[in-house]
Structure 1
């Protein structure tokens, strides 16, 4: 009887060790935390802090949600010209909604503004355009995101986060993009 109890004890320890190895190797993802309660109404403002790779939604002065984001492939500094891979900085507004986006939904920013066009004209360059907040490229699972700055200057979220943003961000919402 002692021998059987000893075998079960060794078997239990071996199973625990195997489980720890499986988790350590990332073969089975740890349980995801429960999602926060859904937002129920429109937000008043969006703030993007590029250096933190973070977007925060506000109702009044109260932050109600925060997301990790990806930016343009060369995100430091204000966008100067088409193709520079930078995400613009300053105050913008949501000026269009695109449910047929090549990415998972997209909300357009009013870039380039008149001052962006004037600066680009002085420099003799095209300021670029079509800056959006959008989801992931086709084929990326709903709750996943590419793990690096990969856009041409846009702001990217997971598709699930973009679904939430789409529901609560009306046209005209101000978007502050900080360095």
Structure 2
């Protein structure tokens, strides 16, 4: 190949890469100081102190009623936790980790002779073209891939999350 072809080809690749949408967005608005999830109404609110910045419909664990008590019960935890990690390579597009289990969760599960489980996340969809109907996760909080891109940009590690019944 000649030099001109290489330069034109490289320029075309850079131009095409600029056209493709990145799943990593930037957010320059007010800080999200708190996340609230109301399981019964299937809503998640991103808060700046007492002001709602945005809200999203969510899907929950396939057994949505009640607090998660052990691994595999299909429930989404209830209580106060924090966003403690992020996974840019999640099989569910992007994901934000929730600090479940806490010490009380561990003690409750062990008293039942069970493991508490873990790996509870706010995440996107595994199959974005499929419309997920009903609650389908193993205890996580799911939103669309477009929504998790915004949430991922807006919510920092250490942000408290309150998950209500």
Could you state the TM-score of these two structures normalised by the residue count of structure 2?
0.81
Aligned to 1:56: 45
- 1:51 alignment partner, SS class: coil
Aligned to 2:85: 96
- 1:56 alignment partner, SS class: strand
Alignment of 1:17-166 (within 5 A): 40-138=29-127, 140-141=128-129, 145-166=131-152
Post-superposition offset of 1:120: 0.9
| Distance in 2 (alpha carbons) for counterparts of 1:145 and 1:84 | 24
- Structure 2, unaligned runs of 5 or more: 1-26
Aligned to 1:169: 155
Deviations 1:122-160 (A, max 9, x none): 11111111000000013x14xx75121000000000111
How large is the RMSD of aligned CA atoms in angstroms?
1.4
- 2:40 alignment partner, SS class: helix
Deviations 1:58-115 (A, max 9, x none): 0010011110000000010000111110000000100000001110100001111111
Aligned residues: 139
- Structure 1 residue runs of 4+, over 2 Å off? 38-42
- 1:150 alignment partner, SS class: coil
Q: Is the 8 A contact 1:83 1:152 kept in 2?
A: yes
- 1:118 alignment partner, SS class: helix
| Distance in 2 (alpha carbons) for counterparts of 1:126 and 1:120 | 6
Post-superposition offset of 1:40: 2.3
